[in-house]
Structure 1
């Protein structure tokens, strides 16, 4: 990128030199005659006045983001609001697929010297990006603008993944937790209490009743995010405190897989695999084949629309507890690319601050369902009235009491893939024990974590 910008700067410099030379020639000769010194002074003054009247060229930066639909609508709206709010910077927002797509494209662009100045970054990948030198530490910026930023206003339950090795590297943007979505109409028709299920045992009991009605309790992918929540509910940890050793193969990590395997074997729940697993879960819920689904709080608005269109009542609740409630946080934060110019970094910082204000988080929460990231937003009359009218949105906010940050070890994205593969193998292969599958994954994970 530096080379590209140097070349661009050189081109501009040459163009400016050519323009100035042309102006100089005009000043020196008019109709083949030399002008007087007074004439040069008048022309110089006129040129200075024209320059003063001409606004400076805006500093343009790129912002790359993930996901479409309601999420994209919210991001594009906020970008337009930022661009209209001032005349110094211009942000060009570009959609780059899901988080995996976005991360791969940012890495490739960084290597090619053409990375965006700002991007979404899924929280579990923050450690990888920062330790590899791709994103800028924000501590100095936050300290400089502490009165404006009000860092303490961000929900503490969402700040755990904003720091890597004690350094501030991102600000919470569209943050989430998984929650339980419930088709209340199906539950009432089956004679089940819509307030539940509140525990794993109740989830199994509800699923048995629903099976008698020809329905599934839940369609749930073997998603690492959901699994992290179940491990937390069982009293376990994914990794050791120092992040050097896998602990997901402990009894607390095995218990969720054993539970899923049992329910899947009895056809009480369905566990799809592959790239379309999440889409399958959404379709089964929308088509009222499954009464429950785990999904991000970011889906509240969209799922309410689906429920209305398909004629069923929707409620949300905490993920059912095992020994206790527990839930991972998720979503993304906004980060700044490290190799941008100083001007671009200032533009990026101005944009990041704007996108994480109280007003911005209220807007995106109401439009999509992502968590309001600032405590001051939760305390506004606007959100209090919103929660009263649509209690489905408040569940994730209340569930933050039981939230924990996701692991951010450099190797964790690779470890997460190993875990998902092990869970799928254990559940889909009758003679594979969950303990054995997770032990095998832990052995591979430990080699990655020790590097």
Structure 2
């Protein structure tokens, strides 16, 4: 726990930022907060995101509570991943952390190395019921820290490309979608009509940048996570793709805390023909597309020199310092939430990837892929999945990268090399 003092300082900074984000709530947590019967082990579970994702969490917790009579779990919504992480850190410092929570996968290392989350290795070794080989190998890269298991894949994702095929047909585009960067630029130009519609509306988001750097043949950080590597030829190629399309007017780039929502609204309202987003948005976007009266299809991210994509989403983790009874109860809950049946349920309900092979191969999921092939795209794309960086200070690196990329997008006079070198200098100072 030698890093805890630094992390607590960071915690208070994050907490202030999180507090500025408002107190959004889906109001459904109260449904699971009824007092449990005498003798039940009480657990609290914190989760991120509302809408369909929030409903899924509440529904699964309700199913768990009804499936047995020894443990009662109360689910509580905590906002975005950043807000969830900040609140968890603050609660841990105050001694009242939830027993189970989510770690966005790039933060698994931060929480594990600071001593806030429990090593789950022994739980797996002593439990004959769980089959770790059933978890999709493409999702396990962010589950281990120093060869120890700290989280099980739960609501996991990759970024995928969404396209308004109704607009695409009107623009005379092939509905097979853009397979390469060059085709992506061509499609974006064809969608752009000079009357406010662009090819792509994109938030300045590090996840998408990680994808394009990997496709260019580069990486965001070096292998041991001690220095950044985005200030490279490959990093410049990825950034210039966004920058050039923005300058040409075929891509609208948004910055700030509401950038993701702005990009989504542009797409849903027909002001952009294409949209990058998590597969977790699929169910919701299909619903919105139906309401707005257009057809929606999903595609692999356009490929550069290589075909790669970062994984994303969250793992379920157990906070450290629990007594044995609470540990065992938390482990049973984590097992339930990541089991085959619940994994298939969550995937169908939200669009998140089925993290278990048995879930993807189940009759339920195969029937869904037959009926709605949009759901299968992210599963197929997972063959190209790569883990996200897990350096202890990577969340701070991300903030620096976003700030500098925003500066570069807004001021085209700044050379790309200067944008990336400035970001790298600041990021490496944080890492050291």
TM-score (ref. length: structure 2)? 0.90
Paired residue for 1:234, among 206, 212, 216?
Answer: 216
Paired residue for 1:316, among 282, 285, 298?
Answer: 298
**Distance in 2, Cα, partners of 1:380 & 1:207:** 37
Q: Does 1:436 align with 2:418?
A: yes
Match of 2:150 in 1: 169
Q: CA deviation at 1:196?
A: 1.5
Q: CA deviation at 1:204?
A: 1.0
Match of 2:317 in 1: 335
**Distance in 2, Cα, partners of 1:248 & 1:430:** 19
**Distance in 2, Cα, partners of 1:351 & 1:175:** 18
**Distance in 2, Cα, partners of 1:210 & 1:68:** 31
Q: Is the 8 A contact 1:427 1:434 kept in 2?
A: no
Paired residue for 1:193, among 169, 174, 195?
Answer: 174
Q: CA deviation at 1:56?
A: 5.7
Considering only CA atoms, is the larger Rg found in Structure 1 or Structure 2?
1
| Structure 1: 4+ residue segments shifted above 4 A | none
Unmatched tracts of structure 2, length 5 or more: 1-36
Q: How does 1:63-142 map to 2 (within 5 A)?
A: 63-142=45-124
Q: How does 1:281-292 map to 2 (within 5 A)?
A: 281-292=263-274
SS in 2 for 1:148: coil
Q: Deviations for 1:127-178, whole angstroms, at most 9, x for unmatched residues? A: 0100000000000001101x31101100000000000111000000000000
SS in 2 for 1:120: strand
**Distance in 1, Cα, partners of 2:120 & 2:298:** 36
Q: Does 1:160 align with 2:144?
A: no
Paired residue for 2:360, among 350, 375, 378?
Answer: 378
Q: Deviations for 1:203-253, whole angstroms, at most 9, x for unmatched residues? A: 111122222464200000110001000001100011111111111101111
SS in 2 for 1:220: strand
Match of 1:143 in 2: 125
Q: Deviations for 1:89-141, whole angstroms, at most 9, x for unmatched residues? A: 11011000010000000000000000000001100011010000000000000
Match of 2:280 in 1: 298
Match of 2:200 in 1: 218
Unmatched tracts of structure 1, length 5 or more: 1-54
Q: Is the 8 A contact 1:190 1:213 kept in 2?
A: no
**Distance in 2, Cα, partners of 1:220 & 1:68:** 21
**Distance in 2, Cα, partners of 1:273 & 1:99:** 18
SS in 1 for 2:160: strand
Match of 1:4 in 2: none
Q: Does 1:445 align with 2:427?
A: yes
Q: Is the 8 A contact 1:174 1:370 kept in 2?
A: yes
**Distance in 2, Cα, partners of 1:352 & 1:209:** 47
SS in 1 for 2:200: strand
Q: Is the 8 A contact 1:257 1:427 kept in 2?
A: no
SS in 1 for 2:414: coil
Q: How does 1:392-431 map to 2 (within 5 A)?
A: 392-431=374-413
Q: Is the 8 A contact 1:239 1:407 kept in 2?
A: yes
**Distance in 1, Cα, partners of 2:307 & 2:252:** 23
Q: Does 1:183 align with 2:164?
A: yes
Q: Is the 8 A contact 1:137 1:167 kept in 2?
A: yes
Match of 1:262 in 2: 244
**Distance in 2, Cα, partners of 1:211 & 1:110:** 49
Aligned residue pairs, count: 395
